Every structure is written in structure tokens, then in C-alpha cells.
Amino acid sequence: MATDKFRCSILLLNALIAFLLLITSFPVFAGSTGTRPGLSPRTATDYIHAVIQADRRVYSHDIVARLSKLGVIKATENWEQDNTLLLPAQFLLKSAELSNERGIGMRYYLTSLWPINKKNSPKSKNEITGLQEIARNPKEPFSWIVKEGNRWFYQAIYPDIATSESCVTCHNNHPKSPKKSFRVGDVMGGILINLPLGKQEKHAELGKHQFPPEIISDYVHSVLASDREIYSKYIVDRLKNQNILQPSENWWADKTLPLPAQFLLNASQLVEKRKLGIHFRLISLWPINPQNGPANEFEHTGLETVETHPIRPYIGISKIGRKTYFKAVYPDFAVTQGCVNCHNAYPGSPKKDFKLNDVMGGIVVSLVMK
């Protein structure tokens, strides 16, 4: 009798969960009529910037500053000849180049009024004003809209701050630096994010502009995927192949580089702390760490779908309480031989026959609609 009751309540619970999944998570159909939820330009750039900044922080703080303090390896301007780490700015610029070259619409740059490299100078009057404004008030990004040719753009510039002594020491002592008096906490430059709005005059009415969440999620993913590829190619694989430094799961204790998955995880934890409404994580149908398996039906279907159709993400909208979330699963590709070799040989890895460019798993991006 007791077990029957128990079984009955389990059945009820299952039915309830199935029902909740049904009503809370449904795919979005592009082109469907009715009002679609959108994101304001400011929310959009806040999400994109959060990822750029978190990855910049993980690279400059957990990798460059930490390993150089430990005497393991330094970051130098001529990293290729010196067999060292890329400078934090070089890492960001390389990743931005990769993302910008995809031609997805959104572009981002590192810029400064006092650049070591003239290429990083502001490119317009607006950018100069933006840099001056964020130096005056680093708490807020500065944004504007501009028409270039026959198209409108929304541009926002976020402060890039000297978070450690190493930023200041290196810039103040660099022969090409036009400013020698930086102090920790100063605004050293800015991260400029440029979003295309379109051709029509109505796009100039900023207050009314709303971005479809799937577009902003694509932009966020492009930053994540670019940083992930640059980290894997130019840091992990390069230094491993030259027998300079081996990545390791116990990277902190081993005084070495975190695995690419741990890089992403650390960044996602930094973003999580800011409670902005953006979340991301790495998942797989063949996880080395069982915690990285799909957490629900949506993620499971998403992984299966992007493995078969890797050209576009699997997307959906769900409601939890009063909040509406846009969710997307993007394919995570084996971009280097290092991804393949490590997973195929890793003790406990459920799949041992990955090949270069295979879909190894997925990156889940989730954005709160506001």
C-alpha cells in the first residue's frame, strides 16, 4: 500500500515535470507572427561585454599574472620568438580579429587615447569622446548611434581598467607608450562594441530598437568561441607541442595552464557573480566529467541536433517564475588536434574516436529577456 502510494506520487511528479517542461520550454519559430521578445541595445552590449571582460580577466589574472609571479612563464610582446605567453592585449586583439572576420555583424576592438600601438587609436570623433567620457566616469559605458555610409550602428565603449600592477609597470616603461603615469585602478583604454542596426531611418530611434535574442546570443557565442580557439591554439597547444608547459586539470596546484574547459568555466563563474542575466556552460553527450552531461531535455535534444546540423544553434524560450530566458545550444568543435588527442586519451572519457573538426559537445548560452 505504502509503495503504491509512493509509486503513485512518483508518477504524478513525473507527469507534473513533463507538463512543466511542455509549457515552459518550447522552440521559437523564426518568422512566426505576434510580438517577439527583444533586447535593448544596452542590454545586448552589456551581455557581450561581460563575456569579453570575463575572458580578459581569466587570461590576464589567472594565467599571465599568476604564472609570471610563480616564475613559470612570462607574457612578452614577441611571444612567438620568445616562446612565451601572448600579452593580454594581444590575446584580446587576436580573438577580436577572429570574431570580426566571421562577418556576423557585431565587431569589437581594444582602443585607447594613449596607445602603445597606433593601430589601437580611436578611429572617430565619437570614439575619442567615448574614451574621454569613460575615463571621467568608469562606472558606466558610453554609447551613441552613428550612420556610416547608408547604415546605422550602435556603438558602446566600456572602460578597460588597470587591474594589476603588471598592467601599469609594463605600459609606463614601454618605450612606445605616450603615457608614463598610469596607476592601478586607472582607465587605460576601452573596449568598443559595434552593433549593426540596419539601413532604415527608423533605426535611428534608439529607444525603440530591440534586438532579437537569437542575434545577441550569436554575438555572445562568437566571443566565447573565438577566445576558446585562441586559447587552445596559441596558448595550450603551442606551449604543449614545444614542451614548455602542459595544461592540467589540477592547474592551480600544478602551477600550469587550466584546460580549455576550465578557462570557460572560470569565466562563466565570474559572469555569474555579476548577476547580469547571462549564463553559459559547456556540455556534451560524451562528457569526461559527468556533471557536464545535458541537464534537461532541451540540452539533450540541442546536443543531438547540433551534432547532426552544426550550421545553426538549437534555440528555445523558457519561463522560470517571472523571468523569460532565451536559450541556445551551439556546437563545440574540435578546433585543434589537442582537443582530440586529450579527450581520446583521457582516462574515463566515454568516447575515444573524436576527429579534428568533430562536434565534441555544445556551448549553452542563456539570456534573461529584459
Query: Rounded CA gap, 325 and 193, in Å?
Result: 23
Greatest pairwise CA separation for the chain in angstroms: 83
Query: Rounded CA gap, 19 and 17, in Å?
Result: 5
Question: Does the protein bind ligand HEC through residue 360 (CB under 6 A)?
Answer: yes
Question: Does the protein bind ligand HEC through residue 129 (CB under 6 A)?
Answer: no
Residues 137-156 that bind ligand HEC (CB under 6 A): none
In the numeric block, the cell 567615448 is attached to 130
| Contacts (Cβ under 8 Å, ≥6 apart) of 321 | none
Question: Does the protein bind ligand HEC through residue 282 (CB under 6 A)?
Answer: yes
* CA triple 200-205-208, angle to 5 deg: 105
Question: Does the protein bind ligand HEC through residue 235 (CB under 6 A)?
Answer: no
Instruction: Select the span of 38-46, 133-141, 169-177, 201-209 touching ligand HEC (CB under 6 A).
Output: 169-177
Question: Does the protein bind ligand HEC through residue 134 (CB under 6 A)?
Answer: no
Which of 220-256 are b and which e, b meaning 16 or more Cβ less than 10 Å from the residue's Cβ?
bbbbbbbbbbbbbebbbbbbbeeeebebeeebeeeeb
Question: Does the protein bind ligand HEC through residue 334 (CB under 6 A)?
Answer: yes
Question: Does the protein bind ligand HEC through residue 367 (CB under 6 A)?
Answer: no
Name which of 216 and 360 has its Cβ closer to ligand HEC: 360
- Among 130, 189, 258, 302, interactor with ligand HEC by CB under 6 A: 189
Q: Site mask, ligand HEC, residues 9-28, x = CB under 6 A?
A: --------------------
Amino acid at 150: N
Instruction: Please work out the total of residues on this chain that contact ligand HEC, with binding judged by CB under 6 A.
Output: 51
Q: Are 338 and 300 in contact (CB under 8 A)?
A: no
Q: Which of 276, 280, 368 is nearest to 324 (CA)?
A: 368
Q: Site mask, ligand HEC, residues 299-328, x = CB under 6 A?
A: ------------------------------
Question: Does the protein bind ligand HEC through residue 364 (CB under 6 A)?
Answer: no
Q: In what order do the strands lie in the sheet with 151-161?
A: 107-111, 187-198, 151-161, 142-148
CB of 111 to ligand HEC, least distance (A): 6
In the numeric block, the cell 523564426 is attached to 30
Residues in contact with ligand HEC by the rule CB under 6 A: 60, 75, 77, 87-90, 93, 110, 112, 115-117, 119-120, 160, 162-164, 166-167, 170-171, 174, 188-189, 228, 232, 236, 247, 249, 259-261, 282, 284, 287-289, 292, 332, 334-336, 338-339, 342-343, 346, 360-361
